[in-house]
Structure 1
């Protein structure tokens, strides 16, 4: 029986059962290096870790892409010369693994086909060499992945061989998705492809360039690249190492800037001010604004010039420009002499910041303040003509202007006064009581805080020029911001030296004291002599008479006169000697209520209606000598009660006035004439028949001891009002 064998099937089975991996290539066109993988067995697929279908689809040259052109040519020449070749090659396997194989290649001709028959065997290399290379690769990979910029390795045809983690993260592609794919097809739009293709074909790959990359999500990112081309020993390109920085935000910012440039130029050109830009070299790069045309200037007179040629005090202005270039907003004043005229300007310099990035350029908005400057000079001439001292302070209390008389009165040169403040310890200020005058209590500081005018504040300050302390009388007035009645911009303080006046007042007070002592002496003589005259008369009657028993009849009268002398001396001693009571914190309304309670009997007997009124919604606490204030109110209430013998109303009003408390004692009594009011509180002057006047004098002393004020107003037939102010 004849057996028929299918040779093709037999060959295929034998070929697939071979233990050695085998690859068979067909030489399609030797001159053009065109080859085709004709057949591959299962052992070869297993070695290279590809399925047969995957291997058959691969381009032949991709299997030898890691072999340099020089080596490929040498292998080809040896194979064609001898018809066979044995060597070791590195071939790419699946997942970008490299496999070293021993290759036994033979040339074969079957019919019209020229074939290359290759038997493969995995080549073992020394383990230490393999580990070292693996460690080096891992180390290089780690370095690449720590770089926070694009790192891409391309082969000579522009295909992606490797890249770092940052590139993978930003692009949205994994390395497996793009491996051995051309950059042009994945990331470059049509607009940028032509230039890149031209560069690669000519071999003139630029070392630095910029282009847009299309990310996986469709977003465009603008990348600035630097390339390193690696050649073999014959000068052929092996691969290209490209590193890139994402400058998308910067590019977009510049584009937005360009879009808004026309609007910006239209805006600044319509402004009455002068707007200019200065670069990091202190060169004026652009100038805009109506001021140029209004004043007969051209842009060419400024643009392209250094600020040192424009500004008179260029060093000072250069420091301000440096501050602005470092990100700080600054302002300064300067003057410019052009065409025989001096112009004064106030400039505000601002840094240019784009998307949070500080640019090396600044913008200056400049206002012509020539008229304002002239007006200020005019005002200064007026200020200098004032006979009083005058200083102008800003919101911090710093003196920004002082006239000549201020310098004379305060004892400092004008240039020294400027930049001093009310808080300076050099003033060594005291108030009228001799207490230290703190800087925050200065009337200028109070006006800055409250916006209120303050008048007639006496201060005792040190004058270094005269090396002594002098008295000044200060008035302050607020200057509000334009269009505002609340925001204080400056405070104007005027003052006079009142040292000589204070000395004259002291002389007058001394004279008045001497006159007072004379009146006191006269009153003492009068008050004591009258009772003594009566007593002496009784004793003389007894001496001249024969009935000594008469003395007993005179004793009650003598005792009454002696009581009158004792009462007077007690009042006099009480007036002249203050009791050493302790100062305490007390509530004023409670003191008034206690004083009324002490006068309850007299109030009831005279049918007096009492009322306490107050507009304060909290307790009014005072630092005082409580027994003295109680005595003060008892004296006042007693006088009011005695002025209403047929009954009436006694009203006590308590009001809060700034940092003081005001108490008004109002009665509906007989009243006092204007002539008599002038002499109230003088010793031995009283509206009562047997009064000494010492009670009101004592009341006046209590008020003065508490640094307060007392005032009397009255109308005959309607009543009297006593007003007391206590701090």
Structure 2
């Protein structure tokens, strides 16, 4: 018996957790060293106090409630807040046990663990989570958490605003749902390399929006690596840089046009004067019956071609006051098709049109827009030297009208597409690149865009978007 008492006494005094003993009136009858350290009172001070005196709040503890607590059975893992002698609040988890004698509870003891630091850490973690929630819900960057299999486990609300997909459509889907189909294999390869080498990812991917827009994202991925070196998940932050990239390209294009304008003005001026003289002499020679008319015809044709190139150079060089006015797109397009039908017949090209009922007008300079259609349609016909079908489709959208001109030519390799529209670069043997460059400039002056997509062996699609008319404006084109 004496040995057991010594054992219990040792367990009481040497227990690393605080142990308090109190009678059925709540008066302390014993406390170990850990208990003294927990509340800051000595055992002698506590023996003159009741347990309610060290609770941080006793507002809800009337005498009846106190007696219920003292008379209760085992109470495990209850959270309490104690008031330290020096005033600070101490969070504890305590379990309380009754002590019986002859079947009646004569006293109780409680074992308490200080969880103040744990509570602070939990509160800090909760605050971090709340901050993350506020940031992720209000930032326009896309925030994704992806597991090791590439499945999306979290998507910020901005995903819906930017991509047009709901959160439910994205969660539990592979991250490639947010990558353009042509880049999916590349994106998967980048992800696999990041997971294997445990490095950050910095890349750019395109995304095809449900409304048809092509977006460009700057994507940064960071693996979440735990202490054992395993990757738990990956956090992706994607920023829509479509407008920024378009602005950069527009700035480069403007610089290029500025240099080209100065060059074109000089070239056109130097060429025009000799051309005028040559034309005059040819006209004189045409009246000479001994002159070789075949040679004269060739000379006249080539001079006309040089004159055409000079005129296109002047469009690039000379600022022009453009008077925009509302015009019906279909009548403009139909008149161009009618003009080019004889050439199409000679080249064995059939022109197929798909024109819905378009009631909206476009704001344009009529002759310049016609020139764009002529250039693009002629390019499409020339891409099919053996003949074929040239399809022209019109799609009306909320703010613009898109004209798609689709040929069945050999197509253009992907690596050459970015160079289209450069001066003196053309996929045609005798091309100068001026036609597409002039067309691009005209469309941009109208607030529209030209996009070219091509499949080698299948053909090329040129998409021209032109804003709908709101009101006539006058623009000074430089």
What TM-score, normalized to structure 2? 0.42
- The structure with higher relative contact order (CA 8 Å, sep 6+) is 2
TM-score, structure 1 normalization: 0.29
Is the radius of gyration larger for structure 1 or structure 2? 1
